[in-house]
Amino acid sequence: MHSIHRRALLGAVFAGLAGSACAQADSWPSRPIRMIVGYQVGGPTDLTARLIATQMSISLGQPVVVENKPGAGSNLASEQVAAAAPDGYTLLLAAAPITINAFLYKNIKYDVQKSFEPIVNVMSAPSVLAVAPGVPARNLQELIALARKEPGKLSFGSSGNGGSQHLAGELLKQRAGIDLLHVPYKGASSALSDLMAGQISMVFMTSMSALPHLKAGNPRPIAVAAEKRLPQLPNVPTVSESGLPGFEAESWNGLFAPAGTPRPVVDRLNRAVNAALAQPAVRDSLVAQGAVPLGGSPEEFRGYVASEVARWGKLLQTLKVSLD
């Protein structure tokens, strides 16, 4: 009898705890939500954050306030959110570097796969391989043939060591078996200027920053590093179509919460972002900037993050690049 009473008492306690958790999830959110961005105001990640935050505020019934905390390759923002209370009130809108920073910086205080709950992948901006006006290659196969003919003569620019443009160029060298000279700049705009002036041979450019120039034909786009062709550049084939299957390199923005955030809160946030991305005004704005709106489930985003860590981590370990 005594054990029956004990089981009944324990059952009542657990039921009470479960009811309390459900009640907390039901009452969330009861105050404004902060969305931390590790980049400057006005940049691509900041623009995406503000675009979805406005719509999320409407569907969640509380303000979603974007806060910019740039610095240390976006690590300051990531560390702040990783250390925040897992209550759904502090979120991180991250970009692609979050999956590679552990290979570039020695003392970061978060693990992208353990410190966060993935909520949803918001959008991607595929890299586009563009060549200078004086490069005679009209497609990727001709460019590879040119590089094999004169090893080390062709150069590729990037926004700096360890960045997405650098890694895409190194991946091309590896996959195509060619020798290219890497020329790092202090930003993507400097690399673009020198490419248009013919000072370097090629650059992998993100579709968001490069679209107006690419549509005008200087520099000349020859391949898109994505699974599908870009709707904004329908005549430019993918790298896969051009002979290097499975070659993808893209910038992206995704939403994370601190690890341990209750699943009902994660699900509600996921629904809010997916609803925002379903709005024609949001989709049209992203597409106009050269982005591809995404969305999906937390599980899909978790799998994507793991695949990015595995792919770029392997390449970075062979390159031995460090930014510390």
Q: Is 90 exceeded by the pLDDT of residue 16?
A: no
d(CA 81, CA 238): 36
The pLDDT assigned to 218 comes to 85
Q: Delimit the domains of the chain by residue range.
A: 32-125+250-319, 126-225
* 219: confidence class by pLDDT, cuts 50, 70, 90: very high
* Residue of 197, 199, 205 whose CA lies nearest to 222: 205
The pLDDT assigned to 61 comes to 97
In the chain, the N- to C-terminal Cα span, in Å, equals 65
* 239: confidence class by pLDDT, cuts 50, 70, 90: very high
Q: Is 70 exceeded by the pLDDT of residue 309?
A: yes
d(CA 193, CA 185): 11
Q: Is 70 exceeded by the pLDDT of residue 109?
A: yes
**Which single residue is written with the structure tokens 């919460």?**
257
| CATH among 3.40.190.10, 3.40.50.670, 3.40.50.300, 3.40.1360.10 for 126-225 | 3.40.190.10
pLDDT tens track for 312-324? 998 898 888 777 6
In CATH, the number for domain 32-125+250-319 is: 3.40.190.150
Cβ atoms of 130 and 301 closer than 8 Å: no
pLDDT tens track for 253-301? 999 999 999 999 999 999 999 999 999 999 999 998 889 999 999 999 9
Q: Is 60 exceeded by the pLDDT of residue 6?
A: no
* Residue of 94, 51, 37, 120 whose CA lies nearest to 282: 51
Q: Is 90 exceeded by the pLDDT of residue 156?
A: yes
Q: Is 90 exceeded by the pLDDT of residue 15?
A: no
- Both tokens of residue 305? 């993050």
- Give yes or no on whether 32-125+250-319 and 126-225 have one common fold: yes
Q: Is 90 exceeded by the pLDDT of residue 209?
A: no
The pLDDT assigned to 25 comes to 62
Whole-model pTM: value is 0.86
